[in-house]
Every structure is written in C-alpha cells, then in structure tokens.
C-alpha cells in the first residue's frame, strides 16, 4: 500500500472541489468478460463484495445526496452516468425506476443530464423504449471492426460480442432512438490498425467518439508501453488525428483531440483524463459506498475506496477526503518532473490512475508521459501551422 497524504491538507493549498459528474453503479456484474477490464481483470476485486443490484432505498439516498450537493453549490446542471458492470442488466423496469427516483429528487434542485455507459449487447427495443421514456442518453463501448473488437470484448464462453453490439448501435441510431445516441468509446489497441479502427467506428455515424488509453501504470504497464521514450500510443493516435483533422468531410467529434486543442488554446479542462482539473467525478457503488474515479481499480486493491458512503456522508464531506483533496492542488500536486515540464498546462500530468507506481504512489508523471508529450506536440504543431497560414492569407 503506497503512502497516503497527511490529514487534513491546508485550506490555503486546496481549491474548492465541486462534483458535477456522478457515476452510479446500477449493477455490479457484467455479461461480457473483456480481457482488459479494470473492474474484473485488474488489481481491485472489490466487485465481489458488492450487491448485484442497487436497491431502491440506496437510489433514493444517492439522489438526495446529489440534490443536496447541487443545491449547496447552486449548480445549474449535473450529470449522472449509469454504470457497472453492465448497467442495462438492471433491465427496463429497473432502469425506469432508477431514473424516476433520480429525477424526482434531483430536478427540483438542478438540471439532470442522465446517461448510460453500456457494452451495447442489451440495446433491445424494450430497453431503448425505457431509455427514451426517461431521456437517458446512451454511449456504447466498441473497439473497432468485428475482428478487432472480438479479440478482447467477448462473452464468458469466448464468443465475440460484435454482432450484438453492432445490432444495438444500429437500432440506437435509427430515427426513433437517435436522439439518445451520445457516442462511441473505443479503447486503443496497438494490435488494431488505427485507420481501420476509425473507419469502423465512423460507419456507425456517431455524433462523437473517444479513444481511451488502456489502463495501466508504472508497476503494471499498459500493453506495448515499455519504460522508455518510445511513443507507440502517440504514433497510433497521430494517424487517427491526421485522418480526422485533415478530412474535407464532416467528422464526429473525438473528445481526446478536441480537448487537447481546447487546452492548447488556453481553454479550461472539461474532464479528468487530460488537463489540470480538480476532481469533478465521484462514483457510487451498488451498496451506496462512495469512491474515486473507477479506473483507480487498475492500481491496487482499495485504490478507489474512501471509506465513505451516502448514508453517513455528504458529497462535500467526500470532497474533503485526503484522496480527493490531494488532487485539488493543481500543478503543486504533481510530480517535480511534471512541474518543470512545459507540456503540463495541457496534459495536466496525465490521467491520475496512470501515474501510479508501488514505490511512490501517484507522485509520478503518467506512464503515458512520452506518448502524451509526442501527441500534444504534434497537435500543437498542426494548429500553429494552420493558424500561421490563415493569418498570412488574411
């Protein structure tokens, strides 16, 4: 177990932390067995101790706590993402019940933007009708073409899930349900050709998509990410960027790239994956326990745990927990190496879970440091070049 920061951090060193995104686990199990899953296949195995379903009283309490937090901070809007495991295992009636309770308690205080992050295999008409009735946006995980997707995203019997996912997405993007379609999320896999992956995803006409770096850290490196200055992930993403940025045809938004550009232009970070941002995301498990961002489960057993829960603690109290507090320090909370780096206004030190090493905890750059540097430098060079061109033409 790595060292934990002393309690409490000084108020002068800690910026206010307001949660605006609440990940609520509706179901702790999953109907797929993806080989790289941080919930089931990595260091933390706490899912085994969680209730399978979130109960009605727990949903009610979660909703009360979120409403309390929104009212305290006068938030005009907050986001709740139904998650898991596979959240749609809660079935249509379960999803409807959860959504109703959340809206009843939260919407008097603030606008609720409700969505679900799903593996896509349960996107039937029955489920989509329930999602539509309760205005729940849908984002689907898919890793590219059938061959590439099925290599890692499989059922427990080893069969690939692509056909079911593709059918679900096709139904989602039909005229009847398209208003629910938020986008696609794909985990970068160096074995998959980047352009083939990108083209496979754009065939589903998503309004937006994102590419996630597979979870790993210095002690458990991501696949194909050696401890050296090579940049395999940047090289992969650069190919997609060139295709996307240079296209004459309208392309879906790719969040990773738009956020890098936004940060390069001096914009504020919109999430925790990149950029210097205080924690804005908090997770509630099926039993009401409150945790940090889920991807921390890739670091060590209990890495995401806070020991707090919705029954005994407000979200303001959670924000004061040392594990959240140490992430509110901005640049001062980063490693010495990051503090000296010119890229840090954009990368923000990289995604927090990716900084872990058994010996130093999270006081490191991201395990993807070389890739982030290369990718950000490349994107910067493109936009500087383009801006120079348009200015000289003006």
Partner 1 sequence: MTDRSARSDEYLVDVSESDLESLARDQNPVLLRAVERVFRETVDTRNVTTRFNSSI
Question: Footprint of partner 1 on this chain (CB under 8 A)?
Answer: 16, 18, 20, 73-79, 113, 115, 139, 182-183, 185, 208-210, 229, 244-245, 250-251, 253, 255, 258-259, 261-268, 270-271, 280, 331, 337, 339-346, 365, 369-370, 373, 380, 383-384, 386-387, 389-391, 393-394
Three-state DSSP class for residue 254: strand
Q: Which is nearer to partner 1, 255 or 297 (CB)?
A: 255
Please, what is the minimum distance in Å from the beta carbon of residue 22 to partner 1?
13
Quote the CA–CA distance of 119 and 252 in Å, as a whole number: 20
Angle at 337 between CA 335 and CA 342, to 5 degrees: 115
Q: Which is nearer to partner 1, 111 or 170 (CB)?
A: 111
Q: Which is nearer to partner 1, 44 or 210 (CB)?
A: 210
Q: Token pair for residue 241?
A: 């960027």
Please, what is the minimum distance in Å from the beta carbon of residue 262 to partner 1?
6
Whether the bond into 85 is cis, omega within 30 of 0? yes
Instruction: Answer whether 106's CB lies under 8 Å from 70's CB.
Output: yes
Q: Token pair for residue 81?
A: 């993402």
Please, what is the minimum distance in Å from the beta carbon of residue 30 to partner 1?
19
Ramachandran quadrant class, 6 (left: phi over 0; alpha: psi -120 to 50; beta: rest) = beta
Q: Which is nearer to partner 1, 147 or 331 (CB)?
A: 331
In a 13 Å sphere around the CA of 276, the CA atoms on its Cβ side amount to: 21
Long-range contacts of 244-248 (CB under 8 A, 24+ apart): 244/198, 245/382
Quote the CA–CA distance of 309 and 39 in Å, as a whole number: 19
Please, what is the minimum distance in Å from the beta carbon of residue 343 to partner 1?
7
Q: Which is nearer to partner 1, 127 or 140 (CB)?
A: 140
Please, what is the minimum distance in Å from the beta carbon of residue 206 to partner 1?
9
Q: Which is nearer to partner 1, 282 or 370 (CB)?
A: 370
Comparing C-alpha atoms, which of 127, 248, 144 is closest to residue 187? 144
Please, what is the minimum distance in Å from the beta carbon of residue 382 to partner 1?
9
Q: Which is nearer to partner 1, 110 or 145 (CB)?
A: 110
Please, what is the minimum distance in Å from the beta carbon of residue 163 to partner 1?
23
Whether the bond into 8 is cis, omega within 30 of 0? yes
């Amino acid at each position: 177990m790595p060292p934990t920061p002393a309690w409490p951090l000084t108020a002068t060193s800690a910026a206010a932390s307001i949660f605006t995104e609440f990940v609520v686990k509706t179901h702790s199990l999953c109907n797929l067995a993806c080989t790289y899953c941080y919930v089931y296949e990595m260091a933390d195995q706490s899912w085994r101790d969680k209730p399978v379903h979130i109960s009605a009283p727990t949903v009610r309490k979660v909703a009360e706590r979120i409403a309390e937090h929104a009212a305290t901070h006068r938030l005009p809007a907050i986001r709740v993402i139904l998650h898991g495991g596979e959240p749609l295992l809660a079935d249509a009636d379960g999803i409807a019940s959860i959504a109703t309770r959340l809206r009843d308690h939260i919407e008097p205080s603030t606008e609720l933007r409700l969505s679900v992050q799903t593996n896509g295999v349960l996107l039937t008409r029955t489920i989509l009708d329930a999602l539509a009735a309760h205005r729940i946006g849908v984002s689907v995980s898919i890793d590219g073409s059938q061959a590439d997707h099925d290599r890692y995203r499989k059922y427990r019997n080893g069969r690939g899930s692509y056909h079911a996912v593709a059918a679900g997405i096709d139904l989602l993007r039909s005229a009847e349900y398209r208003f629910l379609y938020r986008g696609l999320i794909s985990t970068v896999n160096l074995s998959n050709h980047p352009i083939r992956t990108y083209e496979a995803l754009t065939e589903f006409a998503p309004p937006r998509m994102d590419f996630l770096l597979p979870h790993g850290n210095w002690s458990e490196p991501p696949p194909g990410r050696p401890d050296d200055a090579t940049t395999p992930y940047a090289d992969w993403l650069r190919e997609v960027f060139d295709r996307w940025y240079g296209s004459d045809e309208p392309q879906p938004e790719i969040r990773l790239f738009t956020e890098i550009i936004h940060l390069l232009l001096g914009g504020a970070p919109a999430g925790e994956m990149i950029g210097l941002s205080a924690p804005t995301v908090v997770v509630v498990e099926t039993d009401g326990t409150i945790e940090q961002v889920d991807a921390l489960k890739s670091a060590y057993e209990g890495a995401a745990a806070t020991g707090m829960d919705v029954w005994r603690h407000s979200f303001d109290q959670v924000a004061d927990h040392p594990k959240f507090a140490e992430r509110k320090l901005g640049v001062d909370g980063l490693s010495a190496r990051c503090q000296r780096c010119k890229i840090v206004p954009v990368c923000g030190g990289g995604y927090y879970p990716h900084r872990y090493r058994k010996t130093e905890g999270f006081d490191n750059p991201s395990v993807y440091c070389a890739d982030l540097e290369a990718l950000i430098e490349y994107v910067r060079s493109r936009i500087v070049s383009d801006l120079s061109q348009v200015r000289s033409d003006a």
